[in-house]
Amino acid sequence: MLTAPEFLRKVIDWFLYQFAVDVELTAITTFIKDNFSKSAVVVLSSHGS
């Protein structure tokens, strides 16, 4: 069995890990979306002319 402090530490670590992953994923998807939409706009406008 875990003692209370060990259990709390595991819970806190888990929350911090989840938070870090969420932040990273958000940053990555935002970065990809920004770059993709910029390149898509460039491609579409160059095809249009």
Model confidence at 10: pLDDT above 90: yes
> What is the spatial distance between Cα 41 and Cα 47, in angstroms, rounded to a whole number?
10
The pLDDT of residue 12 is above 90: yes
Task: Work out the average pLDDT over 1-30.
Answer: 91
How many whole angstroms from its chain centre is CA 1? Answer: 34
Q: List the alpha helices (DSSP H) in the chain.
A: 4-48
Q: Are residues 14 and 6 in contact, defined by beta-carbon separation less than 8 angstroms?
A: no
Q: What is this structure's pTM?
A: 0.49
Do residues 2 and 10 touch, judged by C-beta distance below 8 A?
yes
